[in-house]
Copies of this chain bind each other. A is one copy, B any other.
Amino acid sequence: MDFSLTIMGTASARPVADKYPSAHVLKIHGRLFLIDCGEGTQLQLSRYGFSHVKIDRIFISHLHGDHLFGIFGLVSTMALMGRTAPLYIYAPVGFAEVLAFFMEHFGEGVIFDIIHVPLTSVNPQVIYEGRSVDVSAFGLNHRIDAFGFLFREKEPARNIHKWKIEVDNLTLTEIGALKRGEDVVRANGELLKVEDYTYIPYKGRSFAYCSDTAPFPKLASYLRGVDLLYHEATFAEDLHDMARTTFHSTGAQAASVALEAGVGRLVIGHFSSRYRDLNTILEEARAIFPATEIAREGMKFDIPLIRYSEE
């Protein structure tokens, strides 16, 4: 029942030695979701022990090279390894041309289907409903069309309080209804309320990804209460103006979004190569939102499962 984020790359547009461009693996119940795919992603996946085979869905935030140029090599390697399972790529509309170019020139061995799901809606919209997770996309505020992603683990079915089965002589039919979240009215008029007889075994977890973006008023409302937020922090406050003109964020701005949205934890990344020491960005962010961490290649952020007891 894992739910964790592992960082493949923390660089912004200009990678430097040992800092890769953007790519992130979100692992949910054993399945891998790849979020952005900068150059070298397939190498980083190998380095950190993630099998390509377990990746069925890739989410591309926007069509700048540092979030995208790894897709060619990754798909080529998938083909070389004999993949047959379809691959879903959630990406802005323009990705269709990128994919068509790739398939025409380099797609010779690609025998599996690649399904491009175009991202279009500025307001949050569900783009994938899975067995264990739903994913929504929403518009960001960058120089070109860019999208954030919100992953929400599905709420599990309700459990019945076992000690009440005997006390109140619950029938199998009554138990079934209560677990489905339906109140029961007995023949004698007695009302059995769902919340008295059942509990949610654990809370559904959530992760949101925002890169690249400048701050904008509605953003926090999209991220309300998520357990973990990844937000770009390309600059420190010394380059506040440059962040504005390039439609990026500072660490402090990322922290302000996290604070306003009331998230659990914040991870910042996508750092400009001019910062050799990231402590300034981190300190400026923590002054606003203390539960902030710096992303580094290979770092894993677990979102623990909080199980509710039977009381």
Contact = CB atoms under 8 A, between A and B. Distances in A.
A76 B65 contact: yes
A259 to B, nearest CB: 32
A94 interface: yes
A69 interface: yes
A107 to B, nearest CB: 10
A120 interface: no
29 contacts: A13-B76, A14-B77, A14-B80, A14-B81, A15-B42, A15-B43, A15-B73, A16-B46, A17-B46, A17-B47, A18-B47, A20-B43, A39-B40, A39-B42, A39-B43, A39-B70, A39-B72, A40-B43, A63-B105, A65-B73, A66-B76, A69-B69, A69-B72, A69-B76, A72-B72, A94-B105, A97-B105, A98-B105, A101-B101
A69 B43 CA distance: 13
Contact of A73 (B18, B21, B80): B21
A101 B106 CA distance: 13
Interface in A58-74: 63-66, 69-70, 72-73
Given A65-B106, A72-B65, A13 B46 contact: no
